[in-house]
Amino acid sequence: MPRIIQFSDIHFGGENTAATEGALRFAETDRPDLILVTGDLTLNGLPREFKAAEAWLQRLPRPWLATPGNHDTPYWNLVLRALTPFARYGRWIGPAFGEHAAAEGLVARTVTTARGAQPRLDWSKGAINLAACHEAVQHFGAAPSDALRVVACHHPLIEATGVPVTGGVHRGEEAAAILAHGGVDAILTGHVHNPFAVPLACADGKTYAIGAGTLSLRLRGTPAGFNRLCTTPETLTVEAMGWTGSHFEPYRSWALPRRVRA
């Protein structure tokens, strides 16, 4: 049954070097069916940070899929950030919108929530295009009925309780409802630097919002880490892996009942 590793918020330029190297070793040994990187690969969207992110991604086992975070825009260059927010991301990482991948028992797609500018004071919060959510649902419609359907974004679409940062996603609740009613099993996000796994309170309650920790030095009360997802036909298990200083070990896990499709 498919296994996924979710890395997030590595923030090259402020990365935890030992943990990012440890994460590579873990992925090489674990050999998941897919690696998802849910944004904030860089700290300030600088070329040297993107080059470091690119070099790290090239060392990951394939396939992997990435989506940008708010820090992956030119953070301090207002003109570039407003006019070409994802030009650097596109040059060094890949397309910023609508990427997808499939493996045995699994289909995944990115939906971008990061923006370079917004008509509100805090441009770093998220916004989501509802048409992109409908496209994801349509895309998943062609997958086998028992395949795990996964969407990867940067900002949590709904506010998770007990985390120190909000996603503040424009249209986030509408997007979550579209994805849940469209049969998406898991919405993987980063941004808050703390892991969580909760069912969305809409549709049949079997669409899960899953957040990952960070591999950066910007810790917010939990160890540097990432998520490891394992599935059976009945259960989606999420393990939050934490860096001990020498290796990763699970420090929290969730067993989530999966949706049964006819």
Choose the binding region for Fe ion from 33-41, 176-184, 200-208, 229-237 (rule: CB under 5 A).
33-41
* Contact call for residue 211 and Fe ion (CB under 5 A): no
Four-CA torsion 83, 88, 91, 93, nearest 10 degrees: -120
- Per CB under 5 A, which of residues 141..160 are in contact with Fe ion? none
Interface region with Fe ion, contact rule CB under 5 A, candidates 11-19, 39-47, 74-82, 91-99: 39-47
CB-wise, 70 or 216, nearer to Fe ion? Answer: 70
* Cβ proximity to Fe ion, 8 vs 207, nearer residue: 8
**242/227 Cα distance (integer angstroms):** 9
Neighbours of 44 (CB within 10 A): 17
- Told to check if 40 binds Fe ion by CB under 5 A, we report yes
Closest separation in Å from C-beta 191 to Fe ion? 4
Q: How far is the CB of 71 from Fe ion (least distance, A)?
A: 6
Shortest reach from residue 10's CB to Fe ion, in Å: 11
Nearer CB in complex with Fe ion: 5/43:
43
Query: Taking CB under 5 A as the criterion, which residues in 61-80 touch Fe ion?
Result: 69-70
The DSSP bridge pattern shows strands 100-103 and 106-110 to be: antiparallel
What's the rounded Cα separation, in Å, for the pair 193 and 222?
A: 8
Tell me the angle at which helices 172-181 and 130-140 cross, rounded to the nearest 10 degrees.
Answer: 10
* The 100-103 sheet, strands edge to edge: 100-103, 106-110, 148-152, 186-189, 208-211, 196-199
Least distance CB 193 / Fe ion (angstroms): 8
Tell me, by CB under 5 A, how many residues bind Fe ion. Answer: 4
Q: Cα–Cα distances in Å, from 182 out to 24, 45, 87, 104, 137?
A: 34, 34, 31, 20, 5
122-141 residues in contact with Fe ion (CB under 5 A) are: none
Site string for Fe ion, 166-205 (x = CB under 5 A): -------------------------x--------------
Nearer to Fe ion, 2 or 69 (CB): 69
Residue nearest to Fe ion (CB): 191
Helix, strand or coil, per DSSP, at residue 117: coil
**Number of residues written out for the chain:** 262
- DSSP assignment string, 199-240: E-SSTTS--EEEE---SBS--SSS-SEEEEEEE-SSEEEEEE
> Cβ 156 to Fe ion, closest distance in Å?
10
Q: Which is nearer to Fe ion, 125 or 259 (CB)?
A: 125
Q: Which is nearer to Fe ion, 70 or 222 (CB)?
A: 70
Q: Which is nearer to Fe ion, 33 or 40 (CB)?
A: 40
5 Ramachandran zone, left/alpha/beta (phi>0; psi -120 to 50):
beta
Q: What does 80-106 look like in DSSP terms, one character per residue?
A: HHHH-TTHHHHHHT--SS--EEEETTE
Binding site for Fe ion (CB under 5 A): 40, 69-70, 191
